[in-house]
């Protein structure tokens, strides 16, 4: 059940350059049913910026009715969001969408979690849940440069963690795809920029792969048709899925990316 809730900010801190970790209290954490779901945030009371911002849930603490998001301060909305402090209130719609299917991999099997930049956060909760199930987890996380790297320590707690940077300033120089070639796995979960998702989908068409997509959104709940993508397994050309309500996570091959 999707809720609209005025949530209290518990804490916010900058964990890498322009990368903020935001922790809020919300009754709807009980409704979160899979890693990779997201929320839709209204960052201002006034009418500019107007639209909500979609941000993934990066970890959930059901006991304390809290959840965490990690986002990059980029444009107008996230800049305003970054200015908020503990105790302030935030109008949040969530949880939204369908997350990563944790049951597609069994205890003892290996899951490869591949994240690019600001696509990394939702993999954290996924890693926690897979590990709890007894799945072996390997993380490959790509960033632009050293100052953008975050959560390496946190991921290391759950499994091997490879970091790549485009400029080689940290970890291995290059792209995540360079690293994952060498790794073996039963199931791959990924979230990040579209070119990365495309490359992975192509490389592993024979494997079990789940991708989390991004698309510009209006409503975030399936009503406005802003975020559609074509399905690839149909013969006609009018079939579609909505990233916000059918996704954001799809099985590789399910939709055209």
Partner 1 sequence: MSRLNIQLPGLNLKNPIMPASGCFGFGREYSQFYDLSKLGAIMIKATTVEPRFGNPTPRVAETSSGMLNAIGLQNPGLEKVVSNELPWLSQYDVPIIANVAGSLEEDYIEVAAEISKASNVHALELNISCPNVKTGGIAFGTIPEVARQLTRRVKEVSEVPVYVKLSPNVTNIVEMAKAVEDGGADGLTMINTLVGMRLDLKTGKPILANRTGGLSGPAIKPVALRMIYEVSQAVNIPIIGMGGIESAEEVIEFFYAGASAVAVGTANFVDPFVCPTIIEELPSLLDTLGYEHISECRGRSWQEHGQLAYHRA
Ligand X SMILES: Cc1cc2nc3c(=O)[nH]c(=O)nc-3n(C[C@H](O)[C@H](O)[C@H](O)COP(=O)(O)OP(=O)(O)OC[C@H]3O[C@@H](n4cnc5c(N)ncnc54)[C@H](O)[C@@H]3O)c2cc1C
Ligand Y SMILES: Cc1cc2nc3c(=O)[nH]c(=O)nc-3n(C[C@H](O)[C@H](O)[C@H](O)COP(=O)(O)O)c2cc1C
Task: Please give the annotated binding residues for [2Fe-2S] cluster, written as ranges.
Answer: 219, 224, 227, 244
- Note whether 42 binds partner 1 by CB under 8 A: yes
Element (H, E) at 50: none
Q: For residue 159, how many other CB atoms are within 10 A of its CB?
A: 18
CB of 229 to partner 1, least distance (A): 7
> Which tokens belong to 60?
């959930």
Q: How far is the CB of 56 from ligand Y (least distance, A)?
A: 23
Which lies closer to ligand Y via its Cβ, residue 112 or residue 227?
227
Residues sharing a CB contact under 8 Å with residue 72, sequence separation 6 or more, in sequence order: 18, 19, 20, 78, 117, 118
Q: Does 44 bind ligand Y (CB under 6 A)?
A: no
In the block, which residue shows the tokens 């954490």? Answer: 29
Interface with ligand FES, residue 230, by CB under 6 A: no
CB nearer ligand FES, residue 128 or residue 241: 241
d(CA 25, CA 171): 34
Q: Measured in whole angstroms, how far is the alpha carbon of residue 75 from the centre of its chain?
A: 19
With CB under 5 to 8 Å by kind, the binding choice for 71 among partner 1, ligand X, a copy of itself, none is: ligand X
Would you give the distance in Å from CA 45 to the centre of its chain? 26
Residues 48-67 that bind a copy of itself (CB under 8 A): 48-49
Nearest residue to ligand X on Cβ basis: 75
Dmax (CA) of the chain: 52
Q: Which residues bind partner 1 (CB under 8 A)?
A: 1-2, 4, 42, 47-52, 76, 91, 93, 215-230, 236-238, 240, 245
């Amino acid at each position: 059940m999707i809720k609209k809730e005025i949530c209290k900010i518990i804490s916010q801190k900058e964990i890498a350059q322009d990368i903020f970790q935001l922790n809020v209290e919300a009754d709807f954490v009980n409704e979160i049913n899979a890693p990779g779901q997201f929320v839709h945030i209204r960052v201002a009371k006034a009418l500019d910026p107007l639209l909500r911002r979609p941000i993934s849930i990066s970890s959930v603490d059901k006991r304390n009715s809290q959840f965490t998001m990690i986002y990059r301060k980029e444009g107008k909305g996230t800049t305003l969001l970054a200015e908020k402090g503990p105790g302030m209130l935030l109008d949040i719609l969530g949880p939204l969408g369908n997350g990563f299917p944790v049951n597609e991999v069994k205890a003892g099997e290996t899951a490869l979690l591949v994240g690019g930049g600001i696509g990394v956060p939702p993999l954290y909760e996924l890693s926690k849940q897979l590990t709890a199930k007894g799945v072996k987890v390997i993380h490959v996380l790509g960033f632009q440069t050293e100052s953008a790297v975050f959560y390496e320590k946190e991921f290391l707690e759950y499994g091997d963690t490879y970091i790549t940077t485009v400029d080689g300033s940290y970890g291995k120089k290059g792209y995540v795809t360079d690293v994952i070639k060498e790794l073996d796995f039963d199931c791959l979960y990924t979230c990040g920029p579209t070119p990365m998702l495309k490359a992975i989908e192509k490389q592993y068409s024979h494997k079990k792969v789940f991708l989390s997509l991004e698309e510009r959104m209006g409503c975030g709940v399936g009503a406005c048709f802003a975020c559609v993508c074509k399905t690839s397994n149909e013969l006609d050309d009018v079939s579609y899925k909505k990233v916000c309500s059918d996704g954001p996570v799809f099985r590789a091959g399910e939709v055209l990316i």
